[in-house]
Amino acid sequence: ATTRHYKFDIKLQKVTRLCHTKSMVTVNGQFPGPRIVAREGDRVVIKVVNHVKNNISIHWHGIRQLQTGWADGPGYVTQCPIQTGQSYVYNFTIVGQRGTLFWHAHVSWLRSTVYGPIVILPKLGVPYPFTKPHKEVPIIFGEWWNADPEAVIAQALQTGGGPNASDAYTINGFPGPLYNCSAKDTFKLKVKPGKTYLLRLINAALNDELFFSIANHTLQVVEADAVYVKPFATDILLIAPGQTTNVLLRTKPKFPNATFFMTARPYVTGLATFDNSTLAGILEYQLPQSHSTLSMKKLPLFKPLLPALNDTSSATKFTTNLRSLASAQFPANVPQKIDKRFFFTIGLGTTPCDKNNNQTCQGPNGTMFAASVNNISFVTPNTALLQAHYFGKSHEVYTPDFPTSPIHAFNYTGTPPNNTMVSNGTKLVVLPYNTSVELVMQDTSILGAESHPLHLHGFNFFVVGQGFGNFDPNNDPKNFNLVDPVERNTVGVPSGGWVAIRFLADNPGVWFMHCHLEIHTSWGLKMAWVVLDGKLPNQKLLPPPADLPKC
Ligand code: C2O
């Protein structure tokens, strides 16, 4: 194992897409940002220097951060943000993980422009449990607003209504030829015939799950959220914000005399307002010598078939195909005996609006939009939760009484209840070290119909069950998969359905859990877990680094 050093200069950069030029916050002037490459077992040290006027922090999404919670990054959760002119060194070791993850800003909506891939290679000399690829290519989905995304979210929160949808989806920063004024800005994947490519797919978009497909090519899924899965072939892939998926692409044995679109569009069961869905890139075969007079432009271009926006059966088929590899070398350590069970309702709701306070009350019935877990809309403190916990000041910042079940009993009928009000609070769950947890998350489908990609910091969890309608505590657990469930850090709680996860709380610290649809996070669909120290030195949170930012 070795140590990898990176320097991230947060600075403004002018970028033009869709004929709009804007000055935006970037890392090192790159969009998307630089790639972090390390091997399993390596230490990664990243110095982040903030040269812009926004406060910022960076989260290493999916990295377990064993004992190094100070390096996790969510603003006001594990650290105060890095202020203008300040810097902070993130220092962590990659333990037991290999595959694809990503990093992104974790303050306000800055992650709309501040994100990039994390590539974790296996330990030196350890092969992949699948065909060795000829080449590896990160493919990162994002969104582009012609406006400043910080202004978009500020306005949404002020008015109490929804934010403006983005102007384009992007693939490696490019919207592609199907948007106006964008033909030049097309991502091209150039390939040779008869080879295997490892595509490292990352959904860094803010607000939509995406279907993805490449015309006339089948993809073989081999990994999800930096954990190997049982390989399976598929034409269509579903990837939620916060998820990563590695797929093998086998190119055609001979030059195909064609080029192929790779496209993505959202999966949304309710609001069709997000249908700006024409993201395309191009898969282009390198011309053989014998075709040297042929022009790529004259070749036919094939478009893939993508499911309809609301095609839940395609979405469900894909997610239920995901299984841990669960081999001798890569076992699935599913907790079998459960210490603590939780039931969380996940969804949107409303909160009172105060016209006198300059708010314009554009939410439903003169309210403001909100979102909650167990009817509690999380209020972000103005100091970091982890510091409060570590320095024994927790009573000043949060209460340890997050409810283990919803405050308003929930029954899914398909129609919203009369009372959609949420309450506000900074409430956390406190768990002794090594508690084995089962958590059932029930989507309420109140005021919106979308799956909620719930992301847990600091852990991988096993997705032991999922279903539609009400979770039935007497019968559904009988069908849980405790043998080879997929292990990941972000799971879609299906719209109008539920998902059950299990994890072992073996990582001391304060760990954020939230919807990775950014507007839902802004509306309060978030909470946090405190995991106490264990008895042994290697079960304790390490002390904070000296340069930990102050609020
Ligand atoms: Cu990728 Cu808390 O986030």
Please tell me the distance between residue 415's alpha carbon and the centre of ligand 1 in angstroms.
31
Q: Is 457 in the pocket of ligand 1 (CB under 6 A)?
A: yes
93 and 160 within one domain: no
Say if 330 falls within a structural domain. Answer: no
Asked whether the beta carbons of 84 and 52 are under 8 A apart, the reply is: yes
Q: Is 512 in the pocket of ligand 1 (CB under 6 A)?
A: yes
Question: DSSP labels for 222-277?
Answer: EEETTEEEEEEEES-EEE-TT-EEEEEEEPPSS--SSEEEEEEEE--SS-GGG---
Burial status of residue 365 (CB atoms within 10 A of its CB: 0-12, 13-18, 19 or more)? exposed
Say if 165 falls within a structural domain. Answer: yes
Q: Is 75 in the pocket of ligand 1 (CB under 6 A)?
A: no
Q: Is 98 in the pocket of ligand 1 (CB under 6 A)?
A: no
119 and 232 within one domain: no
Pick the last residue of a domain from 105, 126, 147. Answer: 126
Region 394-411: mean pLDDT is 93
Q: Residue 179 sits in a domain of what CATH number?
A: 2.60.40.420
Q: Is 106 in the pocket of ligand 1 (CB under 6 A)?
A: yes
Please tell me the distance between residue 203's alpha carbon and the centre of ligand 1 in angstroms.
12
Q: Is 514 in the pocket of ligand 1 (CB under 6 A)?
A: yes
506-533: burial string, b at 16+ Cβ within 10 Å, e else: bbbbbbbbbbbbbbbbbbbbbbbbbbbe
Region 488-494: mean pLDDT is 97
Please tell me the distance between residue 196's alpha carbon and the centre of ligand 1 in angstroms.
31
Dist. CA 439–CA 341, nearest whole Å: 6
425 and 351 within one domain: yes
pLDDT in tens, 178-193: 999 999 999 999 999 9
152 and 96 within one domain: no
Full residue range of the structural domain in which residue 446 is found: 340-539
92 and 174 within one domain: no
Please tell me the distance between residue 199's alpha carbon and the centre of ligand 1 in angstroms.
22
pLDDT in tens, 420-471: 899 999 999 999 999 999 999 999 988 777 899 999 999 999 999 999 999 9
Say if 547 falls within a structural domain. Answer: no
Q: Is the ipTM of this complex over 0.85?
A: yes
518 and 422 within one domain: yes
Please tell me the distance between residue 455's alpha carbon and the centre of ligand 1 in angstroms.
6
491 and 356 within one domain: yes
Report pLDDT for 274: 46
Say if 550 falls within a structural domain. Answer: no
The tally of domains found in the chain comes to 3
Residue 102 CA: nearest ligand 1 atom is: 1
Residue from 222, 239, 254 nearest 140 by CA: 239
pLDDT in tens, 340-355: 999 999 999 999 988 7
477 and 386 within one domain: yes
- Residue percentage of the chain with pLDDT more than 90: 85
Q: Is 81 in the pocket of ligand 1 (CB under 6 A)?
A: no
Report pLDDT for 221: 98
Residue 241 CA: nearest ligand 1 atom is: 1
154 and 259 within one domain: yes
Say if 497 falls within a structural domain. Answer: yes
Pick the last residue of a domain from 97, 126, 155. Answer: 126
Closest residue (by CA) to atom 3 of ligand 1? Answer: 61
Q: Is 62 in the pocket of ligand 1 (CB under 6 A)?
A: no
Please tell me the distance between residue 144's alpha carbon and the centre of ligand 1 in angstroms.
19
Question: Whole-model pTM?
Answer: 0.97
Residue 289 is given by DSSP the state: G
Say if 548 falls within a structural domain. Answer: no
Closest residue (by CA) to atom 1 of ligand 1? Answer: 61
pLDDT in tens, 361-373: 888 888 999 999 9
How long is the chain?
Answer: 551
Residue 74 CA: nearest ligand 1 atom is: 2
Q: Is 73 in the pocket of ligand 1 (CB under 6 A)?
A: no
What is the SS3 string spanning 26-69? Answer: EECCECCCCCEEEECCCEEEEEEEECCCCCECEEEECCCCCCCH
Say if 307 falls within a structural domain. Answer: yes
Please tell me the distance between residue 110's alpha carbon and the centre of ligand 1 in angstroms.
12
Residue 457 CA: nearest ligand 1 atom is: 2
Report pLDDT for 283: 97
Pick the last residue of a domain from 96, 126, 156. Answer: 126
Per-chain mean pLDDT for the chain: 94
266 and 381 within one domain: no
Report pLDDT for 293: 73
Dist. CA 504–CA 439, nearest whole Å: 11
Checking if the pLDDT of 139 tops 50, the result is: yes
Asked whether the beta carbons of 420 and 523 are under 8 A apart, the reply is: no
Q: Is 526 in the pocket of ligand 1 (CB under 6 A)?
A: no
Residue from 386, 394, 336, 344 nearest 508 by CA: 386
Please tell me the distance between residue 516's alpha carbon and the centre of ligand 1 in angstroms.
6
